[in-house]
Amino acid sequence: MSTFTEKTVVEDYIVDRLQGMNWKFVKSTELGRDSYEEVLLLDNLRAAVRRINDIRLGEEDLEKVVNKLDLESSGVEGVKQILRFLKEGISIKLEEDESLERIKLLDEDLEGNEFIVSRQVTYKSYDEEIRPDVVLYVNGIPLVVIECKNPADPTVSWETAYDQVKAYENKVPELFKYVQFSIAAEETAKYFPNTPWLEKSHIYEWKEEEFDVLEATLGMLQKDTLLDLIQNYVFVREERGKSTKIMARYLQYRASKGICDRVINNLRGEEDKNSGLIWHWQGSGKTLTMIFAMNKLYHHPLLENPTIFFVLDRTELEDQIKEEISALDISVDIERVQSIKHLRKVLLHDEGKGKRGVFATLIQKFRKDDLRELERELNERKSSGKRTILDRKNVIGFVDEGHRTQYGVLAAEMRKILNNAFFFAFTGTPIAKEGRDTFDVFSYPDEKYLDRYFIQDSIEDGFTVPIKYQARLEGETYVSKEDLQYFLQQELEEIPEELREDVEEKTRRKLSTINVFLKNPERVDMVANDIASHFLEKIDEKFKGMVVTADRRACMMYKNALDKYLPSEYSEVVMSFGANDPKEFTDYLAKLKDKYNARDWDRVKSRITTSYKEEEFPKILIVTNMLLTGFDAPILQAMYLDKPLKEHRLLQAIARTNRPFNGVKEAGLILDYVGIFDEFERTLAIYSKGDVEGAAYNIDTVREEFLDSLKKARELFEDIGRGDDRETLMKVIRKLVDENTGEEFQRIYRDLRKKFELLGPDPFKTDYLDEFKWFTNIYVAYLRHIKRVDPDQAEKYAKRYFKNTLDYLHKELDLDKIRKDFPIISFDEEYLDRLEDEYPDLDGRISDISTTFVRFIKPNRTKNPIYGTVADKVERILRKWNERRKLLEGREGEKFKSEVYQELKQALGEFDELKNRQVELGLNSQEYYLLLILEKHLEGDLVRDSQELSKEILSKTFKNWTLQPSAVKSVGRTVRKFLRKYDVSGDRRNEVYDEIMEMLERSE
């Protein structure tokens, strides 16, 4: 009986919204295609190419453009080339003068392009045929496909739409060499780049403050945003020998656009700000954000061939940025500044104006003593009236991990030479303390950050997983409270190991005390034994680990100790080596070079870290400073922390564990052997509470919260036993039919489930597994019986919403039994017949009718008088049932149950009679709804009256008329005028008027 379809619920809405954004709607039959095999709108394409290119093009030239597009394959190379054409244009030799010209397909002037939206467009390829719901064309080229599903139908979801688009890619790949991304839409929406050659695509969700996800996603389709995305934020990428396609996530687009807008607005004289802080939590894709911004600015005509620096502080980051840019199909080369001499050459290029292009350099190369001569040369040129890099504004610096290096003489020297440059700092852990304040350096009094993306945002979006911490060997291995408090007040961890001799005596003595304690051989052996036991029991075969030690000597001690308890191939040390190292260190390095067949430490380190990520061994890395920042290994779950850390260094270190891994990593895990997490809030004191909320969870606290949620769930069903028989489940369902109770249970269960999943493999939860299984069974029954999940979709739906829980319990949950006990019956004309077939007992039938009332009848009573007529009767009968059923037992109870069912059956039968009458009278829905309201209160030829009134109302209404007060008043006047002809009291007339207006407004 429900009339919802994907078309009326989602497709109409999307097309209407696009038209509101000035997309031109063209019916699929009027697109001007000669056949279903034709993917491009050729007439539109030719007209656009001629219009937006400032050269004279003949028919032969236009045909060359079309042929270039047609002849590209639908494989990865063809997709890559089409994307290049969209970004850069197509080079052809003109027929008239044989000159080589680049022909644009998209115009930088927004109004020069033609934007068309169509729906239900049929495409054919060989024997296959597809019909996407919505297709978006720009200049005759299909760029976006939208597949819609009905949010009121629990048997489908955005996943269904996604699967459908992936099937389309296989059936008509020719279409998807042009389509750059698709949207799967229901109540929510996901977007994904189209990759016909891959089984799966990266899936993203677009978010904007104050908008729901569907509305925010449609915001991507604003004309300027769509062209910006395609030209600057979609790339084919090589990942380990395989091609894929990536798109910006919403946070990357937002931050990158903020950077580009700042630069462009400044150059146009529209604002004075020339820097900004991008504060994105570790693991949120900062490197790509920098690359997106760099690429867009590099090609922007206003910057006139700029110089762009990636300013880094570690060679690993240089490698990372170069590898990332090289992996993208991007028309920009990055030059790595190899030495201070090389940096001087870049800066003095072109008579001191500086070399144009993109460069990666270490901040350490900006040493004042080494650049003194360069400064002198530049200043001499400037004083003689020549333009130098000191004056240029089209210079941009992207400072990675900007909290670490931007406070001293190196940064000062860089800013002195790049005097007019723009600087943007990227960090997941800014610092706010005297002398080391990231906000002071890059922000403004009225702007703390240009863009921010915090820990909770990242976890909610699934880009990172939560981090849990757990105390290990408390009391036996912990640093004393006194020493720990002193550590928290000092900057010990900021002092490089080789410079610690220069610090004051008191600080050195305290540092020595802590280090001596941490490196006590008996203590190291105890901790190593515990690490080995924990790793073998909890981590091995699924994930990998990292041991963080006090210093390089401690690294060697832990390697020797762990080799006693684990096979030697399990662990490897990653630390710095120097020319003056003791023999133990040099011997170990020689052993590593031989083992990994490498000439130097850099190659050894690269092979160790690659093997860690991709091979079985090593399984544990032993480190002290290396890899605590910038190291991205999703397989790393457990960090065994035996070194005091605080503030940004602590956040950066523990964030190594927060990358998702194949959908099976519930959380990163920090095992604390020094007691630093006992002082967790103090270790992060430089941050506001909101900034670091969710950084790490105390596993003991999660246990307490799990028990608290379990208690609430128990209290909700304290009057019901814990059986899994059908009778018990029916009692539960009767309780959950009440909307408030059902919603309360859903909230409690979801919170319980979240805590259950956060606990991961913690043995603590095994004591509660049976009880949790019972509540999960109840939840599945609730979803099926009250939320109406289709039997064929039950497991998919369950995995969609609580995959980790089901993975843990899948052998225990009897989904087939729940499916059998709670069949889903559609509320249509055959509802009563199927109800009696599926439920042999009256309890089940009455319970299903109760659910049907709450789910379908009650919500529609005011906007559909057919439902309203039945709803009052059904509600009255169900109220009587709920009030009396507990008071009656035995034969009397069975008799009462039978009477209630017959009354409900009769009431629902009237619903079918009312529907059939509408067909017999030949009235449309509005006419019939008006008739039912009029018949409740009035007499006369009401069929004709309802038709006349409906016609008058339709002449006054339009799409979204209820949003305009003047339109509502106009319709109201029409209804009141019409009702004057009936000889009834003013009160009766007002009652009819109110019902009609409520029906009309709710039906809109």
pLDDT tens column, 629-638: 778 888 999 9
Indicate whether 594 and 651 sit together in one domain: yes
The predicted structure's pLDDT at residue 505:
47
Indicate whether 169 and 41 sit together in one domain: yes
Lowest mean pLDDT among 237-241, 617-621, 791-795, 961-965: 791-795
Indicate whether 767 and 686 sit together in one domain: no
Its domain, for residue 608, covers: 467-695
**453, 485, 518: which is the final residue of a domain?**
453
Indicate whether 434 and 539 sit together in one domain: no
For residue 989, give the amino acid letter. R
Q: Report if residue 458 sits inside a domain.
A: no
For residue 279, give the amino acid letter. W
Indicate whether 151 and 233 sit together in one domain: yes
Lowest mean pLDDT among 119-128, 810-819, 917-926: 810-819
Higher pLDDT, 775 or 298: 298
Binning pLDDT at 50, 70 and 90, where does residue 455 land?
A: confident
> What mean pLDDT value characterizes the chain?
78
d(CA 1001, CA 1004): 5
The predicted structure's pLDDT at residue 916:
72
Q: Report if residue 442 sits inside a domain.
A: yes
Asked if residue 9 has pLDDT above 90, the reply is no
Q: Report if residue 54 sits inside a domain.
A: yes
Q: Report if residue 614 sits inside a domain.
A: yes
Q: Report if residue 588 sits inside a domain.
A: yes
Indicate whether 14 and 95 sit together in one domain: yes
The predicted structure's pLDDT at residue 908:
61
Q: Report if residue 459 sits inside a domain.
A: no
Strand 571-573 vs strand 620-623: parallel, antiparallel, or unpaired? Answer: parallel
Q: Report if residue 462 sits inside a domain.
A: no
Please give the share of the chain, as a percent, with pLDDT higher than 90: 28
Indicate whether 847 and 786 sit together in one domain: no
Q: Which H/E stretch holds residue 280?
A: strand 275-280
Q: In terms of Cα–Cα distance, which of 287, 286, 298 is closest to 331? A: 298
The predicted structure's pLDDT at residue 25:
94
Binning pLDDT at 50, 70 and 90, where does residue 825 land?
A: very low
Indicate whether 804 and 732 sit together in one domain: yes
Residue 564's CB is within 10 A of a number of other CB atoms, namely 11
Question: Which CATH number does the domain housing residue 557 bear?
Answer: 3.40.50.300
Higher pLDDT, 846 or 515: 515
Residue 136, classed as helix, strand or coil, is strand
Binning pLDDT at 50, 70 and 90, where does residue 162 land?
A: very high
Indicate whether 136 and 188 sit together in one domain: yes
Please give the share of the chain, as a percent, with pLDDT higher than 70: 73
Binning pLDDT at 50, 70 and 90, where does residue 665 land?
A: confident
Q: Report if residue 826 sits inside a domain.
A: no
**791, 821, 851: which is the final residue of a domain?**
821
Indicate whether 302 and 219 sit together in one domain: no
Indicate whether 164 and 258 sit together in one domain: no
Strand 432-433 vs strand 395-400: parallel, antiparallel, or unpaired? Answer: unpaired
**650, 676, 695: which is the final residue of a domain?**
695
Q: At what angle do helices 842-852 and 726-736 cross, to 10 degrees?
A: 30
Indicate whether 229 and 243 sit together in one domain: yes
What's the mean pLDDT in 200-224? 89
Are 942 and 931 within 8 A, CB to CB?
yes
Locate tokens 């005390």: which residue? 513
Asked if residue 780 has pLDDT above 80, the reply is no
Q: Report the number of distinct structural domains present in the chain.
A: 6
